[in-house]
A and B are shown apart, each in its own frame.
Chain A
Amino acid sequence: MSAIIEITHLSHVYAEGSPYKVESLKDITLSVEKGEFLGLFGPNGSGKSTLIQHLNGLIKPQKGSVIVCGIDASDTKLSRELWKKAGLVFQYPEHQIFQTTVFDEVAYGPRNLKLPEATVKERVYQALEQVGLTQENITQMPPSTLSGGTRRRVAIAGMLAIQPEILILDEPMAGLDSAGRNLILGIIKKRQQKNETTIMVSHSLKEILSLTDKLAILDNGCLVFTGIVQDLLNRPEILARYQLELPEYLQIVWQLAAQGCEIKTDISSIRQAGEEIIKLLTRKSC
Protein backbone atom coordinates (compact mmCIF):
# COMPACT_ATOMS: atom_id res chain seq x y z
CA MET A 1 0.00 0.00 0.00
CA SER A 2 1.11 3.50 -0.72
CA ALA A 3 -0.46 6.83 0.09
CA ILE A 4 -2.52 8.15 -2.81
CA ILE A 5 -3.42 11.33 -0.94
CA GLU A 6 -1.03 13.16 1.34
CA ILE A 7 -2.20 16.24 3.17
CA THR A 8 0.44 17.95 5.26
CA HIS A 9 -0.11 20.84 7.71
CA LEU A 10 -2.99 22.20 5.65
CA SER A 11 -4.73 25.35 6.88
CA HIS A 12 -7.44 27.44 5.23
CA VAL A 13 -9.04 30.74 6.16
CA TYR A 14 -12.17 32.15 4.53
CA ALA A 15 -12.66 35.91 4.19
CA GLU A 16 -9.26 36.75 5.70
CA GLY A 17 -9.15 40.32 6.90
CA SER A 18 -12.93 40.76 7.09
CA PRO A 19 -15.22 40.54 10.11
CA TYR A 20 -16.55 37.29 8.66
CA LYS A 21 -13.16 35.58 8.81
CA VAL A 22 -13.51 31.85 9.44
CA GLU A 23 -10.61 29.51 10.10
CA SER A 24 -12.01 26.56 8.25
CA LEU A 25 -9.04 24.17 8.43
CA LYS A 26 -6.29 24.22 11.02
CA ASP A 27 -3.06 22.31 10.47
CA ILE A 28 -4.53 19.15 8.97
CA THR A 29 -2.21 16.21 8.32
CA LEU A 30 -3.88 13.16 6.83
CA SER A 31 -3.04 10.45 4.33
CA VAL A 32 -5.23 8.03 2.43
CA GLU A 33 -3.91 4.77 1.03
CA LYS A 34 -4.75 3.47 -2.42
CA GLY A 35 -7.87 1.31 -2.32
CA GLU A 36 -9.06 2.65 1.00
CA PHE A 37 -12.56 3.80 1.78
CA LEU A 38 -12.27 6.79 4.08
CA GLY A 39 -15.33 8.04 5.96
CA LEU A 40 -15.05 11.73 6.79
CA PHE A 41 -17.21 12.92 9.67
CA GLY A 42 -17.75 16.07 11.67
CA PRO A 43 -20.51 18.44 12.75
CA ASN A 44 -22.04 20.92 10.31
CA GLY A 45 -19.48 23.63 9.74
CA SER A 46 -16.45 21.61 10.78
CA GLY A 47 -14.58 22.01 7.47
CA LYS A 48 -15.33 18.72 5.70
CA SER A 49 -16.42 20.28 2.43
CA THR A 50 -13.49 22.70 2.47
CA LEU A 51 -11.08 19.82 2.96
CA ILE A 52 -12.36 17.72 0.08
CA GLN A 53 -12.42 20.69 -2.29
CA HIS A 54 -8.64 20.80 -1.84
CA LEU A 55 -8.34 17.29 -3.25
CA ASN A 56 -9.41 18.16 -6.79
CA GLY A 57 -7.91 21.63 -6.84
CA LEU A 58 -11.11 23.66 -6.42
CA ILE A 59 -9.45 25.28 -3.44
CA LYS A 60 -5.69 25.77 -3.55
CA PRO A 61 -3.74 25.28 -0.33
CA GLN A 62 -3.08 28.60 1.41
CA LYS A 63 -0.72 26.97 3.86
CA GLY A 64 0.60 23.39 3.89
CA SER A 65 0.57 20.96 1.01
CA VAL A 66 -1.79 18.55 -0.72
CA ILE A 67 -0.38 15.80 -2.94
CA VAL A 68 -2.92 13.70 -4.85
CA CYS A 69 -1.76 10.80 -7.04
CA GLY A 70 1.67 12.39 -7.01
CA ILE A 71 0.32 15.75 -8.23
CA ASP A 72 0.90 18.86 -6.17
CA ALA A 73 -2.57 20.41 -5.86
CA SER A 74 -1.16 23.91 -5.59
CA ASP A 75 0.36 23.71 -9.09
CA THR A 76 -2.17 25.47 -11.34
CA LYS A 77 -0.52 24.06 -14.45
CA LEU A 78 -1.54 20.57 -13.33
CA SER A 79 -5.15 21.44 -12.44
CA ARG A 80 -6.49 19.68 -15.50
CA GLU A 81 -4.64 16.49 -14.62
CA LEU A 82 -5.84 16.71 -11.05
CA TRP A 83 -9.56 16.83 -11.74
CA LYS A 84 -9.26 13.72 -13.91
CA LYS A 85 -7.65 11.85 -11.02
CA ALA A 86 -9.90 13.04 -8.20
CA GLY A 87 -13.59 13.16 -9.01
CA LEU A 88 -15.64 15.19 -6.58
CA VAL A 89 -19.41 14.75 -6.37
CA PHE A 90 -20.91 17.65 -4.47
CA GLN A 91 -23.80 17.64 -2.05
CA TYR A 92 -27.00 17.53 -4.05
CA PRO A 93 -25.22 16.94 -7.37
CA GLU A 94 -28.60 16.80 -9.10
CA HIS A 95 -28.73 20.59 -8.81
CA GLN A 96 -25.85 20.97 -11.19
CA ILE A 97 -27.28 18.89 -14.00
CA PHE A 98 -27.56 21.10 -17.06
CA GLN A 99 -27.66 18.99 -20.22
CA THR A 100 -30.94 18.32 -21.96
CA THR A 101 -30.75 14.53 -21.98
CA VAL A 102 -29.47 11.96 -19.52
CA PHE A 103 -27.02 10.71 -22.16
CA ASP A 104 -25.47 14.13 -22.77
CA GLU A 105 -25.26 14.78 -19.05
CA VAL A 106 -23.33 11.60 -18.31
CA ALA A 107 -21.26 12.02 -21.50
CA TYR A 108 -20.18 15.54 -20.57
CA GLY A 109 -17.10 14.45 -18.61
CA PRO A 110 -15.82 11.78 -21.01
CA ARG A 111 -16.34 14.17 -23.96
CA ASN A 112 -14.25 16.77 -22.16
CA LEU A 113 -11.55 14.13 -21.85
CA LYS A 114 -11.61 14.15 -25.70
CA LEU A 115 -12.38 10.45 -25.85
CA PRO A 116 -13.69 9.02 -29.13
CA GLU A 117 -17.51 9.04 -29.23
CA ALA A 118 -17.64 5.22 -29.26
CA THR A 119 -15.71 5.11 -25.97
CA VAL A 120 -17.88 7.88 -24.58
CA LYS A 121 -20.98 5.85 -25.36
CA GLU A 122 -19.50 2.75 -23.76
CA ARG A 123 -18.60 4.68 -20.62
CA VAL A 124 -22.04 6.30 -20.39
CA TYR A 125 -23.82 2.96 -20.52
CA GLN A 126 -21.37 1.44 -18.07
CA ALA A 127 -21.81 4.31 -15.63
CA LEU A 128 -25.60 4.26 -15.90
CA GLU A 129 -25.55 0.55 -15.22
CA GLN A 130 -23.41 1.11 -12.13
CA VAL A 131 -26.07 3.42 -10.71
CA GLY A 132 -28.86 1.01 -11.55
CA LEU A 133 -30.34 2.98 -14.44
CA THR A 134 -30.77 0.33 -17.08
CA GLN A 135 -34.17 1.25 -18.53
CA GLU A 136 -33.84 1.42 -22.28
CA ASN A 137 -35.40 4.80 -22.87
CA ILE A 138 -33.78 6.68 -20.03
CA THR A 139 -30.77 7.99 -21.96
CA GLN A 140 -32.92 10.32 -24.07
CA MET A 141 -35.05 11.60 -21.18
CA PRO A 142 -34.55 15.20 -20.06
CA PRO A 143 -33.12 14.95 -16.51
CA SER A 144 -35.56 17.59 -15.27
CA THR A 145 -38.44 15.16 -15.70
CA LEU A 146 -36.89 12.53 -13.43
CA SER A 147 -37.43 12.25 -9.69
CA GLY A 148 -34.85 13.74 -7.32
CA GLY A 149 -33.40 10.33 -6.46
CA THR A 150 -33.02 9.36 -10.10
CA ARG A 151 -31.41 12.70 -10.94
CA ARG A 152 -28.90 12.04 -8.14
CA ARG A 153 -28.02 8.73 -9.78
CA VAL A 154 -27.58 10.46 -13.13
CA ALA A 155 -25.28 13.04 -11.57
CA ILE A 156 -23.17 10.36 -9.88
CA ALA A 157 -23.02 8.41 -13.16
CA GLY A 158 -21.62 11.57 -14.77
CA MET A 159 -18.67 11.37 -12.41
CA LEU A 160 -18.23 7.59 -12.67
CA ALA A 161 -18.01 7.95 -16.46
CA ILE A 162 -14.82 9.96 -16.01
CA GLN A 163 -13.42 6.93 -14.15
CA PRO A 164 -11.48 8.93 -11.57
CA GLU A 165 -8.81 7.16 -9.53
CA ILE A 166 -10.24 8.71 -6.41
CA LEU A 167 -13.98 9.15 -5.99
CA ILE A 168 -14.99 11.77 -3.46
CA LEU A 169 -18.62 11.92 -2.44
CA ASP A 170 -20.03 14.73 -0.30
CA GLU A 171 -23.01 13.31 1.57
CA PRO A 172 -24.20 11.27 -1.39
CA MET A 173 -26.90 9.48 0.57
CA ALA A 174 -28.65 12.58 1.90
CA GLY A 175 -32.20 12.52 0.63
CA LEU A 176 -32.01 9.05 -0.91
CA ASP A 177 -34.31 6.20 -0.02
CA SER A 178 -32.91 2.89 1.23
CA ALA A 179 -32.64 1.43 -2.26
CA GLY A 180 -30.59 4.45 -3.35
CA ARG A 181 -28.38 4.27 -0.27
CA ASN A 182 -27.71 0.58 -0.75
CA LEU A 183 -26.82 1.24 -4.37
CA ILE A 184 -24.16 3.75 -3.37
CA LEU A 185 -22.75 1.41 -0.75
CA GLY A 186 -22.63 -1.25 -3.48
CA ILE A 187 -20.63 1.04 -5.77
CA ILE A 188 -18.13 1.70 -2.99
CA LYS A 189 -17.83 -2.00 -2.18
CA LYS A 190 -16.95 -2.75 -5.80
CA ARG A 191 -14.37 0.01 -5.79
CA GLN A 192 -12.79 -1.50 -2.68
CA GLN A 193 -12.60 -4.89 -4.40
CA LYS A 194 -10.86 -3.26 -7.38
CA ASN A 195 -8.44 -1.45 -5.04
CA GLU A 196 -9.91 1.94 -5.97
CA THR A 197 -9.97 4.78 -3.48
CA THR A 198 -13.17 6.37 -2.20
CA ILE A 199 -13.77 9.18 0.24
CA MET A 200 -17.21 9.88 1.61
CA VAL A 201 -18.33 12.79 3.71
CA SER A 202 -21.09 11.43 5.86
CA HIS A 203 -23.24 12.21 8.85
CA SER A 204 -24.31 8.68 9.42
CA LEU A 205 -21.71 6.45 10.98
CA LYS A 206 -24.20 3.64 11.19
CA GLU A 207 -24.71 3.62 7.44
CA ILE A 208 -21.08 3.10 6.55
CA LEU A 209 -19.75 1.45 9.71
CA SER A 210 -19.49 -1.99 8.18
CA LEU A 211 -17.72 -0.77 5.04
CA THR A 212 -15.15 1.89 5.96
CA ASP A 213 -11.46 1.11 6.20
CA LYS A 214 -10.62 4.34 7.95
CA LEU A 215 -12.45 7.16 9.66
CA ALA A 216 -11.51 10.78 10.12
CA ILE A 217 -13.37 13.29 12.25
CA LEU A 218 -13.09 17.03 11.83
CA ASP A 219 -14.24 19.50 14.41
CA ASN A 220 -14.02 23.24 14.07
CA GLY A 221 -11.32 22.85 11.43
CA CYS A 222 -9.17 20.42 13.44
CA LEU A 223 -8.63 16.75 12.76
CA VAL A 224 -9.66 15.20 16.07
CA PHE A 225 -9.60 11.51 15.17
CA THR A 226 -8.20 9.20 12.52
CA GLY A 227 -8.21 5.44 12.74
CA ILE A 228 -10.11 2.27 12.01
CA VAL A 229 -13.65 1.56 13.17
CA GLN A 230 -12.55 -0.55 16.13
CA ASP A 231 -10.36 2.31 17.41
CA LEU A 232 -13.38 4.55 17.29
CA LEU A 233 -15.64 2.08 19.08
CA ASN A 234 -13.05 2.01 21.85
CA ARG A 235 -13.34 5.77 22.26
CA PRO A 236 -16.80 6.29 23.75
CA GLU A 237 -15.94 9.88 24.64
CA ILE A 238 -15.41 10.70 20.95
CA LEU A 239 -18.61 8.93 19.93
CA ALA A 240 -20.50 10.87 22.56
CA ARG A 241 -18.92 14.24 21.87
CA TYR A 242 -19.71 14.11 18.15
CA GLN A 243 -22.97 12.30 18.71
CA LEU A 244 -21.95 9.77 16.12
CA GLU A 245 -24.85 7.47 15.81
CA LEU A 246 -24.05 3.83 16.16
CA PRO A 247 -26.33 1.31 14.56
CA GLU A 248 -29.42 0.82 16.77
CA TYR A 249 -28.42 -2.75 17.63
CA LEU A 250 -25.22 -1.44 19.22
CA GLN A 251 -26.98 1.51 20.86
CA ILE A 252 -29.44 -0.68 22.70
CA VAL A 253 -26.99 -3.27 24.00
CA TRP A 254 -24.51 -0.57 24.98
CA GLN A 255 -27.18 1.35 26.85
CA LEU A 256 -28.34 -1.80 28.61
CA ALA A 257 -24.76 -2.63 29.54
CA ALA A 258 -24.36 0.91 30.88
CA GLN A 259 -27.37 0.26 33.12
CA GLY A 260 -25.46 -2.66 34.59
CA CYS A 261 -27.07 -5.45 32.60
CA GLU A 262 -24.92 -8.41 31.70
CA ILE A 263 -25.34 -8.44 27.96
CA LYS A 264 -23.08 -9.29 25.04
CA THR A 265 -22.10 -6.10 23.21
CA ASP A 266 -20.08 -7.39 20.26
CA ILE A 267 -23.02 -8.13 18.01
CA SER A 268 -23.71 -7.20 14.43
CA SER A 269 -27.45 -7.19 13.79
CA ILE A 270 -30.76 -6.11 15.27
CA ARG A 271 -31.81 -9.74 15.34
CA GLN A 272 -28.84 -10.58 17.58
CA ALA A 273 -29.75 -7.66 19.83
CA GLY A 274 -33.24 -9.15 20.16
CA GLU A 275 -31.84 -12.57 21.01
CA GLU A 276 -29.52 -11.10 23.66
CA ILE A 277 -32.35 -9.11 25.21
CA ILE A 278 -34.61 -12.17 25.38
CA LYS A 279 -31.74 -14.10 27.03
CA LEU A 280 -31.32 -11.27 29.49
CA LEU A 281 -35.03 -11.16 30.31
CA THR A 282 -35.12 -14.92 30.73
CA ARG A 283 -32.20 -14.76 33.17
CA LYS A 284 -33.63 -11.67 34.90
CA SER A 285 -30.26 -10.58 36.18
CA CYS A 286 -29.69 -6.88 36.13
Chain B
Amino acid sequence: MSEGIEVVSVTKQYTVYPDSKINALRGINLTIEKGEYVGLLGINGSGKSTLARLFNGLLQPTKGKVYINGIDTADPANLQEIRRMVGMVFQNPDNQLVCPVVEEEIAFGPENMELPLQEIRRRVDWALHVCDLEDKRHHAPHLLSGGQKQMVALASVLAMLPEYLVLDEPTSMLDPKSRRALLEQLYLLNKQEGITIILISHNPEDLLQTDRLIVLDQGTICLEGAPREVFANAKFENLGLEVPSLYQLIYYLEANHFAVPEKIKSIPDLVEHICLQL
Protein backbone atom coordinates (compact mmCIF):
# COMPACT_ATOMS: atom_id res chain seq x y z
CA MET B 1 0.00 0.00 0.00
CA SER B 2 1.51 3.32 -1.04
CA GLU B 3 1.79 5.91 1.69
CA GLY B 4 0.85 9.53 1.18
CA ILE B 5 -1.98 11.45 -0.41
CA GLU B 6 -2.60 11.18 -4.09
CA VAL B 7 -4.94 13.42 -6.04
CA VAL B 8 -5.45 12.23 -9.62
CA SER B 9 -7.00 14.45 -12.33
CA VAL B 10 -9.54 15.87 -9.92
CA THR B 11 -12.27 18.21 -11.05
CA LYS B 12 -14.88 19.54 -8.66
CA GLN B 13 -17.98 21.19 -9.94
CA TYR B 14 -20.60 22.93 -7.83
CA THR B 15 -24.09 23.39 -9.16
CA VAL B 16 -25.14 26.92 -8.54
CA TYR B 17 -28.67 28.26 -8.45
CA PRO B 18 -30.48 28.71 -10.82
CA ASP B 19 -28.62 26.31 -13.10
CA SER B 20 -25.11 27.51 -13.74
CA LYS B 21 -22.12 25.44 -12.69
CA ILE B 22 -18.83 26.53 -11.15
CA ASN B 23 -15.63 24.56 -11.53
CA ALA B 24 -13.89 24.99 -8.20
CA LEU B 25 -11.10 22.59 -9.17
CA ARG B 26 -10.01 21.87 -12.72
CA GLY B 27 -7.81 18.84 -13.25
CA ILE B 28 -5.67 18.78 -10.11
CA ASN B 29 -2.81 16.27 -9.95
CA LEU B 30 -0.94 16.26 -6.68
CA THR B 31 1.11 13.90 -4.54
CA ILE B 32 1.83 14.62 -0.91
CA GLU B 33 4.47 12.38 0.64
CA LYS B 34 4.18 11.10 4.15
CA GLY B 35 6.03 13.40 6.56
CA GLU B 36 5.88 16.49 4.35
CA TYR B 37 4.93 19.94 5.58
CA VAL B 38 3.00 21.44 2.71
CA GLY B 39 1.56 24.94 2.41
CA LEU B 40 -1.49 25.43 0.22
CA LEU B 41 -1.81 29.01 -0.90
CA GLY B 42 -4.13 31.04 -3.11
CA ILE B 43 -6.44 34.03 -3.06
CA ASN B 44 -10.01 33.82 -1.78
CA GLY B 45 -12.00 31.67 -4.15
CA SER B 46 -9.04 29.84 -5.73
CA GLY B 47 -10.23 26.39 -4.59
CA LYS B 48 -8.12 25.83 -1.46
CA SER B 49 -10.95 24.86 0.88
CA THR B 50 -12.55 22.63 -1.74
CA LEU B 51 -9.27 20.77 -2.20
CA ALA B 52 -8.84 20.43 1.57
CA ARG B 53 -12.28 18.87 1.93
CA LEU B 54 -11.39 16.20 -0.61
CA PHE B 55 -8.57 14.90 1.59
CA ASN B 56 -10.90 13.26 4.09
CA GLY B 57 -13.88 12.61 1.89
CA LEU B 58 -16.01 15.50 3.16
CA LEU B 59 -16.38 16.32 -0.52
CA GLN B 60 -16.10 13.92 -3.41
CA PRO B 61 -14.50 14.84 -6.73
CA THR B 62 -16.84 15.29 -9.68
CA LYS B 63 -14.16 13.58 -11.79
CA GLY B 64 -10.88 11.94 -10.78
CA LYS B 65 -9.74 10.16 -7.64
CA VAL B 66 -8.29 10.95 -4.23
CA TYR B 67 -6.30 8.24 -2.42
CA ILE B 68 -5.09 8.32 1.18
CA ASN B 69 -2.38 5.69 1.75
CA GLY B 70 -3.74 4.06 -1.38
CA ILE B 71 -7.33 4.01 -0.09
CA ASP B 72 -9.99 5.51 -2.33
CA THR B 73 -12.02 8.27 -0.62
CA ALA B 74 -14.95 7.64 -2.97
CA ASP B 75 -15.95 4.37 -1.29
CA PRO B 76 -18.18 5.14 1.73
CA ALA B 77 -16.91 1.96 3.39
CA ASN B 78 -13.46 3.57 3.65
CA LEU B 79 -14.56 6.89 5.11
CA GLN B 80 -14.31 5.98 8.77
CA GLU B 81 -10.73 4.81 8.34
CA ILE B 82 -9.83 7.83 6.21
CA ARG B 83 -11.26 10.29 8.71
CA ARG B 84 -9.26 8.66 11.46
CA MET B 85 -6.09 9.13 9.40
CA VAL B 86 -6.82 12.65 8.16
CA GLY B 87 -7.66 15.21 10.84
CA MET B 88 -9.23 18.50 9.84
CA VAL B 89 -9.11 21.85 11.59
CA PHE B 90 -11.36 24.45 10.04
CA GLN B 91 -11.25 28.21 9.82
CA ASN B 92 -13.93 28.77 12.41
CA PRO B 93 -13.68 26.56 15.52
CA ASP B 94 -17.34 27.23 16.41
CA ASN B 95 -18.23 24.93 13.54
CA GLN B 96 -16.47 21.94 15.04
CA LEU B 97 -16.83 22.15 18.81
CA VAL B 98 -19.71 20.13 20.27
CA CYS B 99 -19.07 19.29 23.95
CA PRO B 100 -19.81 21.38 27.05
CA VAL B 101 -16.37 20.91 28.64
CA VAL B 102 -12.94 21.24 27.01
CA GLU B 103 -11.59 17.85 28.10
CA GLU B 104 -14.78 16.11 26.98
CA GLU B 105 -14.42 17.79 23.62
CA ILE B 106 -10.91 16.43 23.27
CA ALA B 107 -11.98 12.97 24.46
CA PHE B 108 -14.84 12.87 21.95
CA GLY B 109 -12.78 11.34 19.13
CA PRO B 110 -10.88 8.74 21.18
CA GLU B 111 -14.14 7.74 22.95
CA ASN B 112 -15.76 7.10 19.61
CA MET B 113 -12.81 4.96 18.66
CA GLU B 114 -13.71 2.86 21.74
CA LEU B 115 -10.22 3.11 23.17
CA PRO B 116 -9.50 1.95 26.74
CA LEU B 117 -10.17 4.61 29.35
CA GLN B 118 -6.50 4.96 30.27
CA GLU B 119 -5.51 5.51 26.67
CA ILE B 120 -8.22 8.17 26.30
CA ARG B 121 -6.92 9.87 29.44
CA ARG B 122 -3.34 9.72 28.18
CA ARG B 123 -4.25 11.21 24.81
CA VAL B 124 -6.39 13.97 26.32
CA ASP B 125 -3.59 14.95 28.69
CA TRP B 126 -1.08 14.94 25.86
CA ALA B 127 -3.27 17.02 23.56
CA LEU B 128 -4.03 19.53 26.35
CA HIS B 129 -0.32 19.83 27.05
CA VAL B 130 0.69 20.22 23.40
CA CYS B 131 -1.91 22.94 22.83
CA ASP B 132 -1.12 24.72 26.09
CA LEU B 133 -4.66 24.26 27.38
CA GLU B 134 -3.98 22.50 30.67
CA ASP B 135 -5.53 25.31 32.69
CA LYS B 136 -8.63 25.32 30.46
CA ARG B 137 -9.35 21.61 30.95
CA HIS B 138 -12.62 22.15 32.83
CA HIS B 139 -13.77 25.25 30.98
CA ALA B 140 -16.72 25.46 28.61
CA PRO B 141 -15.44 25.77 25.02
CA HIS B 142 -18.15 28.24 24.01
CA LEU B 143 -17.03 30.63 26.76
CA LEU B 144 -13.44 30.66 25.54
CA SER B 145 -12.14 33.27 23.13
CA GLY B 146 -11.80 32.59 19.41
CA GLY B 147 -8.10 31.80 19.60
CA GLN B 148 -8.51 29.49 22.58
CA LYS B 149 -11.35 27.70 20.80
CA GLN B 150 -9.09 27.14 17.81
CA MET B 151 -6.53 25.49 20.08
CA VAL B 152 -9.30 23.25 21.49
CA ALA B 153 -10.26 22.29 17.93
CA LEU B 154 -6.63 21.40 17.19
CA ALA B 155 -6.28 19.44 20.44
CA SER B 156 -9.42 17.42 19.76
CA VAL B 157 -8.13 16.46 16.33
CA LEU B 158 -4.66 15.61 17.69
CA ALA B 159 -6.21 13.25 20.24
CA MET B 160 -7.16 11.02 17.30
CA LEU B 161 -3.42 10.75 16.50
CA PRO B 162 -3.98 11.50 12.83
CA GLU B 163 -1.30 10.68 10.28
CA TYR B 164 -2.31 13.69 8.26
CA LEU B 165 -3.39 17.04 9.60
CA VAL B 166 -5.23 19.40 7.27
CA LEU B 167 -5.72 22.93 8.59
CA ASP B 168 -7.91 25.37 6.68
CA GLU B 169 -6.75 28.87 7.64
CA PRO B 170 -6.43 28.03 11.31
CA THR B 171 -4.56 31.21 12.19
CA SER B 172 -7.00 33.75 10.87
CA MET B 173 -8.73 34.37 14.22
CA LEU B 174 -5.63 34.18 16.37
CA ASP B 175 -3.67 36.96 18.01
CA PRO B 176 0.02 37.10 17.06
CA LYS B 177 1.10 35.20 20.15
CA SER B 178 -1.40 32.36 19.64
CA ARG B 179 -0.64 32.39 15.93
CA ARG B 180 3.07 31.97 16.51
CA ALA B 181 2.40 29.31 19.14
CA LEU B 182 0.20 27.37 16.71
CA LEU B 183 2.67 27.63 13.83
CA GLU B 184 5.52 26.60 16.12
CA GLN B 185 3.42 23.66 17.31
CA LEU B 186 2.65 22.56 13.76
CA TYR B 187 6.34 22.67 12.91
CA LEU B 188 7.15 20.47 15.92
CA LEU B 189 4.29 18.05 15.22
CA ASN B 190 5.71 17.65 11.74
CA LYS B 191 9.37 17.34 12.67
CA GLN B 192 9.07 15.40 15.92
CA GLU B 193 5.87 13.38 15.64
CA GLY B 194 6.19 12.93 11.88
CA ILE B 195 2.62 14.08 11.23
CA THR B 196 2.14 15.14 7.63
CA ILE B 197 0.77 18.67 7.61
CA ILE B 198 -1.17 20.49 4.95
CA LEU B 199 -1.56 24.07 6.05
CA ILE B 200 -3.91 26.26 4.06
CA SER B 201 -3.53 29.98 4.18
CA HIS B 202 -3.89 32.99 1.97
CA ASN B 203 -1.21 34.58 4.11
CA PRO B 204 2.25 33.65 2.82
CA GLU B 205 3.75 34.74 6.16
CA ASP B 206 2.16 31.66 7.77
CA LEU B 207 3.92 29.34 5.38
CA LEU B 208 7.59 30.32 5.82
CA GLN B 209 8.42 27.06 7.63
CA THR B 210 6.88 24.70 5.08
CA ASP B 211 8.89 22.31 2.89
CA ARG B 212 6.79 22.88 -0.20
CA LEU B 213 4.25 25.41 -1.38
CA ILE B 214 1.39 24.70 -3.73
CA VAL B 215 -0.27 27.79 -5.15
CA LEU B 216 -3.79 27.51 -6.51
CA ASP B 217 -5.38 29.88 -8.97
CA GLN B 218 -8.91 29.46 -10.28
CA GLY B 219 -8.94 25.78 -9.47
CA THR B 220 -5.58 24.82 -10.95
CA ILE B 221 -2.11 24.45 -9.48
CA CYS B 222 -0.17 27.34 -10.97
CA LEU B 223 3.04 27.27 -8.92
CA GLU B 224 4.74 24.63 -6.85
CA GLY B 225 8.10 24.31 -5.12
CA ALA B 226 10.21 25.38 -2.15
CA PRO B 227 8.95 28.64 -0.61
CA ARG B 228 12.03 30.54 -1.69
CA GLU B 229 11.56 29.59 -5.36
CA VAL B 230 7.83 30.16 -5.36
CA PHE B 231 7.99 33.62 -3.78
CA ALA B 232 10.68 34.63 -6.27
CA ASN B 233 8.51 33.69 -9.25
CA ALA B 234 7.10 36.76 -10.99
CA LYS B 235 3.77 34.93 -11.40
CA PHE B 236 3.30 34.90 -7.64
CA GLU B 237 2.58 38.61 -7.26
CA ASN B 238 0.43 38.66 -10.37
CA LEU B 239 -1.96 36.34 -8.54
CA GLY B 240 -2.72 39.07 -6.01
CA LEU B 241 -0.52 37.47 -3.35
CA GLU B 242 2.05 39.33 -1.36
CA VAL B 243 5.66 38.17 -1.14
CA PRO B 244 6.49 37.92 2.59
CA SER B 245 8.56 40.89 3.74
CA LEU B 246 11.35 38.54 4.84
CA TYR B 247 11.75 37.27 1.29
CA GLN B 248 11.45 40.76 -0.21
CA LEU B 249 14.37 41.67 2.00
CA ILE B 250 16.34 38.52 1.18
CA TYR B 251 15.90 39.10 -2.56
CA TYR B 252 16.98 42.73 -2.15
CA LEU B 253 20.10 41.72 -0.22
CA GLU B 254 20.98 39.04 -2.76
CA ALA B 255 20.51 41.50 -5.61
CA ASN B 256 23.07 43.64 -3.78
CA HIS B 257 25.60 40.82 -3.60
CA PHE B 258 24.94 39.71 -0.04
CA ALA B 259 24.33 35.96 -0.05
CA VAL B 260 21.60 34.64 2.25
CA PRO B 261 21.68 30.85 2.83
CA GLU B 262 18.56 28.72 2.16
CA LYS B 263 18.25 27.75 5.82
CA ILE B 264 17.23 31.27 6.82
CA LYS B 265 13.49 31.18 7.39
CA SER B 266 12.81 33.93 9.93
CA ILE B 267 13.83 37.46 10.89
CA PRO B 268 15.90 36.36 13.91
CA ASP B 269 17.74 33.90 11.60
CA LEU B 270 18.51 36.76 9.24
CA VAL B 271 19.61 39.11 12.04
CA GLU B 272 21.98 36.43 13.32
CA HIS B 273 23.35 35.82 9.84
CA ILE B 274 23.95 39.54 9.26
CA CYS B 275 25.71 39.95 12.62
CA LEU B 276 28.03 37.05 11.77
CA GLN B 277 29.10 38.88 8.64
CA LEU B 278 30.07 42.01 10.52
Contact = CB atoms under 8 A, between A and B. Distances in A.
Contact of B252 (A145, A146, A256, A271): A271
Interface in B240-260: 240-242, 244-246, 248-249, 252-253, 256, 258
A261 interface: yes
Interface in A169-192: 171, 174-180
Given A44-B145, A177-B240, 4 more contacts: A20-B140, A43-B178, A259-B275, A270-B245
Chain A interface size band reads 35 or more
A142 B17 contact: yes
Interface in B158-214: 169, 172-180, 202
Instruction: State the majority secondary structure of interface residues on A.
Output: loop
Contact of A145 (B22, B240, B270, B277): B22
**Listed residue (B147, B175, B278) with the most chain A CB atoms within 10 angstroms of its CB:** B175
A112 interface: no
25 contacts: A14-B143, A43-B175, A44-B146, A44-B147, A91-B146, A142-B17, A147-B44, A147-B45, A175-B44, A176-B44, A177-B202, A178-B240, A179-B240, A203-B179, A245-B176, A248-B244, A251-B267, A252-B249, A252-B271, A255-B271, A259-B275, A261-B274, A277-B274, A281-B278, A284-B277
Q: Which 3 A-B residue pairs are closest in the complex by CB-CB distance?
A: A149-B44, A147-B45, A44-B147
B67 to A, nearest CB: 27
Contacts of A270: 245, 248-249, 252
A174 B244 CA distance: 17
B278 A284 contact: yes
A232 to B, nearest CB: 14
B17 A149 contact: no
A243 B178 CA distance: 10
Contacts of A233: none
Interface in A107-146: 142, 145-146
A92 B44 contact: no
Interface residues of B, number: 49
A252 B148 contact: no
A3 to B, nearest CB: 28
A225 to B, nearest CB: 15
Given A248-B249, A256-B274, A270-B245, A175 B172 contact: yes
B249 A150 contact: no
A248 B145 contact: no
Nearest to B204: A178
A127 to B, nearest CB: 19
